[in-house]
């Protein structure tokens, strides 16, 4: 009898403790039942990301700068070749960079060395090439990715044509050479609807380290949407070389490459794939002019396009002419698609650095007891 009473008391106490715990720290079940009657959280939950080790990323960058080949390289094409090849075959990941652990909406790292999408890959490689040590790299990656070097989701250079390109031309890292390659260039025009883009963002675009309640998720997404009040619709104009200029169609399905233009593109130049007034507003809230980007790398087999590919799911090289020919054959109007080319420019001269001295560690030998 005493044993049954003791068991009943223990069961009651346990239930009280569990109910109190759920009241203070609501779990997923309680959110979907009571606090989230419309099922908001299940359909609009923030993305929970794994914690990362910045020390590991820093070690990789330091290893790059210790390379004797990197320390000897002083020209832009040399350093772009070395930096871009350093991360070949790394996995593709959409949106791998954010504002770091202090970020409000996106806590992905400010920089990393283990995964990229097209713009973050290009940004990282340029920062590596124009810098000579980790400290300079950390400064330059922020200058490349944020307006006036101010780290926040609002000041991030989200849009290539109206944010990223103008900022890095102003920083002195890039020079638009599209018009120098041919007089038969065209201008792609569209309007970047930044306010509508912000309103199209969902809770899934918020990246945090741990699960939060539906109430907190709703509050964050409202704050994210409120950023639409701080931006405006911006007109975008991008010069580009149409596919009809890059290739000559004989009318039988065979395309002849305009070798003069391809040969004139310097190694390490940024190649941007331009689509005139690309209609994607139904998906992201605004039309765009630029859909992809990578680097031009001259190789023995021709000009390669080094890219973080969403199709191959890795950083890889493809023949640029073949890559563009595939588009020529599939797009409705090849005259409204082409490439925008920007050459890499170093705002300061890079000197040859002495090789890193290897540190030999002395191994202590234990004395044998006699």
Span 103-131, pLDDT tens digits: 999 999 999 999 999 999 999 999 999 99
pLDDT digits (tens, 9 = 90+) for 166-194: 999 999 999 999 999 999 999 999 999 99
Which tokens belong to 299? 């190789």
pLDDT at 20: 38
For the cut 80, the answer to whether the pLDDT of residue 9 exceeds it is no
- Residues 201-220, mean pLDDT to the nearest whole number: 93
pLDDT at 365: 52
pLDDT at 3: 45
Single pTM value for the model: 0.85
pLDDT at 366: 52
Angle between helical axes of 118-130 and 134-145 (0-180°, round to 10): 140
Q: Rounded to whole angstroms, how far apart are CA atoms 205 and 30?
A: 24
C-alpha 21 chain-centroid distance: 40
Which residue shows structure tokens 């690309």?
Answer: 278
pLDDT digits (tens, 9 = 90+) for 218-230: 999 999 999 999 9
**Size (the chain), residues:** 370
pLDDT at 362: 56
pLDDT at 359: 63
Q: Rounded to whole angstroms, how far apart are CA atoms 271 and 306?
A: 9
Q: Rounded to whole angstroms, how far apart are CA atoms 127 and 110?
A: 12
Residue 216 — pLDDT band, cuts 50, 70, 90?
A: very high
pLDDT at 23: 32
Instruction: Render 33-73 in DSSP notation, one character per residue.
Output: III-TT-HHHHSPPEE-----HHHHHHHHHHHHH-HHHHH-
Domain ranges of the chain: 43-344
Expressed in percent and rounded to 5, the helix, strand and coil fractions of the chain are 45, 20, 35
Strands 270-278, 337-344: parallel, antiparallel or unpaired by DSSP? Answer: antiparallel
8 Å CB contact between 206 and 192: no
For the cut 70, the answer to whether the pLDDT of residue 342 exceeds it is yes
Of 115, 137, 110, the C-alpha closest to 126 is 137
What mean pLDDT value characterizes the chain? Answer: 88
Q: Note the CATH architecture for domain 43-344.
A: Roll (2.30)
Of 155, 157, 185, 186, the C-alpha closest to 169 is 157
8 Å CB contact between 350 and 74: yes
Mean pLDDT lowest among 34-38, 87-91, 255-259: 34-38
Residue 2 — pLDDT band, cuts 50, 70, 90?
A: very low
For the cut 70, the answer to whether the pLDDT of residue 17 exceeds it is no
Tell me the CA distances in angstroms from 191 to 64, 287, 294, one per residue in order. Answer: 40, 7, 23
Tell me the CA distances in angstroms from 200 to 236, 264, 298, one per residue in order. Answer: 20, 41, 40
- Residues 77-102, mean pLDDT to the nearest whole number: 96
Q: Rounded to whole angstroms, how far apart are CA atoms 243 and 249?
A: 10
């Amino acid at each position: 009898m005493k044993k049954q009473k003791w068991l009943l008391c223990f069961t009651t106490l346990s239930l009280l403790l569990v109910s109190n715990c759920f009241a203070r720290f609501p779990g997923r079940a309680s959110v979907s039942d009571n606090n989230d009657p419309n099922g908001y959280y299940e359909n609009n939950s923030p993305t929970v990301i794994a914690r990362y080790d910045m020390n590991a990323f820093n070690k990789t960058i330091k290893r790059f700068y210790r390379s004797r080949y990197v320390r000897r390289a002083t020209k832009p094409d040399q350093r772009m070749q070395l930096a871009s090849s350093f991360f070949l075959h790394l996995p593709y990941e959409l949106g791998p960079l954010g504002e770091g652990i202090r970020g409000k909406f996106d806590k992905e790292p400010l920089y990393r060395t283990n995964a990229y999408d097209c713009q973050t890959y290009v940004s990282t490689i340029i920062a590596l090439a124009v810098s000579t040590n980790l400290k300079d790299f950390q400064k330059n990656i922020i200058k490349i990715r944020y307006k006036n070097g101010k780290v926040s989701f609002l000041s991030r250079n989200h849009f290539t044509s109206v944010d990223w390109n103008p900022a890095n031309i102003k920083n002195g890292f890039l020079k638009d050479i599209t018009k120098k390659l041919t007089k038969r260039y065209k201008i792609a025009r569209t309007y970047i609807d930044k306010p509508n883009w912000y309103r199209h963002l969902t809770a899934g675009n918020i990246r945090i380290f741990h699960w939060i309640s539906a109430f907190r998720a709703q509050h964050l997404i409202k704050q994210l949407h409120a950023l639409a009040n701080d931006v405006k619709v911006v007109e975008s104009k991008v010069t580009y070389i149409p596919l009809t200029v890059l290739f000559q169609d004989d009318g039988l399905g065979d395309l002849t490459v305009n070798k003069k233009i391809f040969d004139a593109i310097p190694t390490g130049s940024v190649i941007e794939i331009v689509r005139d007034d690309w209609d994607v507003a139904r998906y992201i809230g605004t039309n765009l002019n630029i859909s992809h980007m990578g680097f031009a790398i001259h190789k023995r087999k021709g000009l390669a396009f080094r890219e973080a590919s969403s199709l191959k799911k890795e950083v890889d090289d493809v023949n640029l002419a073949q890559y563009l020919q595939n588009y020529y054959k599939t797009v409705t109007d090849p005259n409204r698609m082409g490439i925008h080319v920007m050459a890499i420019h170093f705002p300061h001269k890079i000197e040859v650095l002495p090789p890193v001295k290897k540190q030999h560690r002395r191994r202590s030998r234990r004395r044998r007891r006699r």
